Amino acid sequence: DMRDGSLSRLQYQKERANSDITALKYFQNDLWVGSTDGLYVLPMREGDFDGFDPIPPKLKIKQVSIARRDTALHPRYRLPFDQNDLSVQLQAFAFRSGENYTYEHRMLGLDTVWKTSSSSANVINYYDLKAGNYTFQARAKSSEGLYSTDTPEITFEIIPPYWEQTWFKLARLLSVIGL
């Protein structure tokens, strides 16, 4: 309702019910609202944004590639020893369009500290992982310093080659002993 010159809520008109807001920008005392139906400019008064709390970004894992091939997203992967090159693509979302993020990630079982990359470096690569269990975790940080509220993670198990498995070592030992 703009009767008093301030924005108290934004309502779609009935014929615009399918419009989605795609961007918001406060510029030169106006609120610019981009939507799938067009661009709207709403005049604002000083103080209309008082008390506005920034919203932390949302983060999701967009894609996983194994041995340089895209694969379906799963929470857990069990992989043979020769499928040990991994790439994870991240995607952050925020209320504001054009937000720059910092991605932080770690691979538990390999890393103990968070590593940082810019929003343009949203693909994280791991090459030649040794046999073992790993958990990839990620978070996004907004320009206001707010971290994403969720920390998506994926677990990877790299199975050792047969010649490193206990049953093979035991069989080899028994064959050497002559049993």
Q: How many CA atoms lie within 13 A of 26 on its CB side?
A: 12
Instruction: Give pLDDT tens digits for 68-121.
Output: 999 999 999 999 999 999 999 998 877 665 567 889 999 999 998 999 987 677
Between 40 and 79, the more confident residue is: 79
Burial class (CB in 10 A: 0-12, 13-18, 19+), 40: middle
> What's the order of all strands across the beta sheet hosting 21-27?
21-27, 30-35, 38-43
pLDDT value for 3: 44
Instruction: Give pLDDT tens digits for 44-55.
Output: 766 665 555 677
Residues 92 and 154: their CA atoms lie apart, in Å, by 17
Residue 153 — very low, low, confident or very high, per pLDDT cuts 50/70/90? very high
Written in H, E and C, the secondary structure of 78-101 is: EECCCCCCEEEEEEEECCCCCCCC
pLDDT value for 61: 94
- Per-chain mean pLDDT for the chain: 81
Residue 4 — very low, low, confident or very high, per pLDDT cuts 50/70/90? very low
Contact 66, 85 (CB under 8 A): yes
b/e for 142-157, b at 16 or more Cβ within 10 A?
beeeeebeeebebebe
Contact 157, 77 (CB under 8 A): yes
